[in-house]
Amino acid sequence: MIKIRTAAKADKEEILSFCSNTFSWGDYIDQVWDFWYRDRNGRLLVAEESGSKKKIAMSHAAVCPDEKSVWLEGIRVHPDYRRSQIASKLIEKMLHYGRQKGARQASAIVAADNAASQRMMEKNSFEIISRWVFYSTADRLRPRKSEARLATAGDLDAIWQYLNASEVYRLSAKMYVRSWHWYQLDHRALQNLVGGQRVVVIGQRPIDGVAVINRTSYWTRKNILQVVYLDSTSLRPLRHLMSFVTNMYIADKFQHLQVVCHRSKSMTSVLEKFMTEEEEQFLLYNKVLVA
């Protein structure tokens, strides 16, 4: 008999014992457990055997700031208990939590090479709505000329008009990334991002390209500059956007530069001139929740 409950502080060590080699590079659960445990807008779940109390699985659900969606992440199952429907039971619990909080949809990312997790998501009626790619570098890059600039409040209408006509915006599921959660890039979010000097543009009217940036730390990682949405009409404005971001990375002495964006040939052909090779590809899954 399997019991799924809210995590306790004492669960950490036993859970981490089987969450260290999940991927070829290791895992990140040790970096996020404490944050998830303290998360007031989420729920950290643990599955255990009712008799032995052995911890055999975990997951985390987070309600997004707009309270319209719930983000599912960190599903881990002990190797000895895989193929036992435990992951699906965790998903069921997380969806129940999301509905209780008023969420109307649920989302999650899965690595493009993780066939088992993809089958699990599809079995639970999730659909792929977008494909993303992740690049990262800590290299010393050279400055580049750029005509891009930080957007101002006066650019808001032109940027919104650009996005609504953009194929990349549609293929990105109209989302951007923050701390590895995908959020709706709607007009309200765009206004806040522009006000926070987190939107880079090239062109005046019309706008020829848009990038959303984070100057951030997340988990235990510090001093990172991220591009979390990237969109342009052609290769030239894309190069100018990335040149602007590269110059910011150099000038402000960030430790890492990361790019997370919709995966397309036009994007990757430019990014590979600025960054090292792509780190990973992701599938963005979504499920509409019904009462």
Average pLDDT, stretch 81-91? 92
Place 22 in a pLDDT band, splitting at 50, 70 and 90: confident
CA dihedral 257, 263, 265, 268 (to 10 degrees): 10
How high is the mean pLDDT of the chain? 92
Identical fold, 2-103 and 134-282: yes
Can you name the CATH fold of 2-103?
Aminopeptidase (3.40.630)
272 CB neighbour count, 10 Å cutoff: 12
Predicted TM-score of the model (pTM) = 0.92
What would the pLDDT profile of 209-230 be if each residue is shown by its tens digit?
999 999 876 666 678 999 999 9
What would the pLDDT profile of 176-214 be if each residue is shown by its tens digit?
998 889 999 999 999 999 999 999 999 988 999 999 999
Q: How much is the pLDDT for 208?
A: 96
Q: How much is the pLDDT for 8?
A: 97
The dihedral region occupied by 102, where left means phi > 0, alpha psi between -120 and 50, and beta the remainder, is: left
Query: Residue 160 pLDDT > 70, yes or no?
Result: yes
Average pLDDT, stretch 88-116? 95
Q: How much is the pLDDT for 121?
A: 96
Average pLDDT, stretch 252-281? 85
Average pLDDT, stretch 280-288? 96
* Long-range contacts of 100-103, Cβ-Cβ distance < 8 Å, separation of 24 or more: 101/63, 101/67, 101/70, 102/67, 102/68, 103/63, 103/64, 103/67, 103/68, 103/69, 103/70, 103/289
What would the pLDDT profile of 110-150 be if each residue is shown by its tens digit?
999 999 999 999 999 999 999 999 998 988 889 999 999 99
3.40.50.300, 3.40.30.10, 3.40.630.30, 3.90.1150.10: CATH of 134-282: 3.40.630.30
Q: Show me where the domains of the chain are located.
A: 2-103, 134-282
Query: Residue 109 pLDDT > 80, yes or no?
Result: yes
Average pLDDT, stretch 151-161? 97
More confident residue, 268 or 144: 144
Query: Residue 50 pLDDT > 90, yes or no?
Result: no
